[in-house]
Amino acid sequence: MSQLERLERLEQSITLALYEIDANFAKCNRTVSTRILPIIEKYTKNCNNIWESSKFWKQFFETSASVSLSGVEEPVQGSEKPKEGFVSSESKYTDSGDPKIEEDEEDTETFYQNIPSSFGHEAFEPQEVKDEQVTQSTPKKDTSFENLSLENASLTPIPARLQTPARKIDEANLQHTGRSALLHRVLDTNWHVQVTPHEKKKYEDMDIDSSPLMSPSPIAMKMETISAPGDRTSKSALSMFSEFEHESNDSLMPNGMSPPKTIQFSPHSLGDSFNRTDGERSLSLQRKFDALNDSNENMIKEESWEL
Amino acid sequence: MLNSRIAEKEKEYVSVCKLKEISQEMSKKLELLAQRLETLNDGSEAVSTVLDNWPFIFESIQLASQHTGALVRTPLSADEKQP
């Protein structure tokens, strides 16, 4: 009967198709296990290196801008703000990168900087930060990095995360268990960076003394005469380079400059000749510092390179 | 009865064909993913190398700033550097 024949052929074709499906699945598994997993292992290694290397620059920028950065995760609630908000907020941050200059009235003024995650979430939420978050994110030197990395040792550590956001998110999204909790969290949350300016004291003599960027020794003579506003930051941004090189010499200024010498800024940008007298030295330094402030933020980095 | 069985077999064959196509798509997507991840890994290697080189830059600058005399570098190649 043709029906029997047809039945047989159908059955054979079904078997053949099932065999093809099995072959496809096997190919998928091979591809994943042979190529993808080793690649991801190398990628984790590279990413860890990058994160450790970036720790230094993060400290550097924090010191130069006198802020504390922390990563805050916001759960995505389907909010879609236009990209313009992101751009304007970013430009606002770069312009006011040094909050001290702006003479902010509030001590704990925080604002968000959005980091578009690799999964395409680009929402920006300028919310007010609670005091708990702020006070717990102000300490600059945290051991919480290591704590977090040990907690999430199964996967790569989340960059720039401090204690409070981690616990908050853990309690909120504890739907999944254990190791997969991190995986599921990555897609759920928006990654923000929270910038917290350090509490600054009001200086009676607003002068170059208050800048954390200037190396202290040329100003040391001036600070003896004027009541010292107190050392807000024990280290300047420039001294981090020498610390980074594991060469902490007290008598040597960063980049090998000795204390009695006047700091040389780039002559082509400032164009002033040096004044050797004490009284005029501070004025010339102040003028150069003003010139630095007028230019963009990149100059702050550049000054450390000029010899 | 045979006709009903044939009908069932035909439905089964159709669904099995769909499964085959879908699995084929999956293998292609995974192949694509593998390529992208390779590119990603190469990029991360580059970034990692750059960030690893920063300390050497600092070291060179410090060395250059400490020695006001002429620096002579004698690497393996025939180049010499004298600022």
Q: Provide DSSP, A258-303.
A: -TTSPPP--HHHH-PPP--SHHHHHHHHHHHHHHHHHS-THHHHHG
User: Could you list the residue range(s) of the whole structural domain that residue A9 is in?
Assistant: 1-66
Q: Give the pLDDT of residue A21.
A: 94
pLDDT lower than 70: segments of chain A: 66-67, 69, 71-191, 199-307
Q: Give the pLDDT of residue A307.
A: 40
Which residues of chain B neighbour A53 with C-beta distances below 8 Å?
48, 51-52, 54
Q: Give the pLDDT of residue A243.
A: 55
Most confident of A54-58, A235-239, B46-50, B62-66: B46-50
Cβ neighbours of A50 (radius 10 Å): 20
Q: Please say if the pLDDT value at position B18 is more than 70.
A: yes
Cβ neighbours of A124 (radius 10 Å): 23
Tell me whether residues B58 and A305 touch, CB distance under 8 A: no
Q: Give the pLDDT of residue A164.
A: 39
Q: Give the pLDDT of residue A61.
A: 83
pLDDT digits (tens, 9 = 90+) for A122-179: 333 333 333 333 333 333 444 334 333 333 433 344 444 433 344 444 444 455 456 5
pLDDT band at residue B50 using 50, 70 and 90 as cut-offs: very high
Angle between helices A278-294 and A216-225 (to 10 degrees): 120
In a domain, A96, yes or no: no
| Interfacial residues of A (vs B; Cβ cutoff 8 Å) | 1, 3-4, 6-7, 10-11, 13-14, 17-18, 20-21, 24-25, 27-28, 31-32, 35-36, 39-40, 42-43, 46-47, 49-50, 53-54, 56, 241-242, 244-245, 247, 255-257, 305, 307
Residue of higher predicted confidence among B48 and A300: B48
Residue of higher predicted confidence among B75 and A176: B75
Tell me whether residues A50 and B61 touch, CB distance under 8 A: no
CA distance B50 to chain A (A): 9
Determine the 3-state secondary structure of A75 from DSSP: strand
Q: Give the pLDDT of residue A47.
A: 95
Cβ neighbours of A10 (radius 10 Å): 17
pTM: 0.46
Task: Give the phi and the psi of residue A257 in degrees, each rounded to 5.
Answer: -90, 140
Tell me whether residues B48 and A3 touch, CB distance under 8 A: no
In a domain, A21, yes or no: yes
* DSSP one-letter code for A35: I
Q: Please say if the pLDDT value at position B63 is more than 90.
A: no
- Contact criterion met (CB below 8 Å) for A182 and A123: no
Q: Which residues contact A188 (CB under 8 A, 6 or more apart)?
A: A75, A76, A173
pLDDT digits (tens, 9 = 90+) for A223-248: 444 444 444 444 455 566 655 555 43
Tell me whether residues A28 and B44 touch, CB distance under 8 A: no
Q: Give the pLDDT of residue A239.
A: 60
Quote the number of domains for chain A: 1
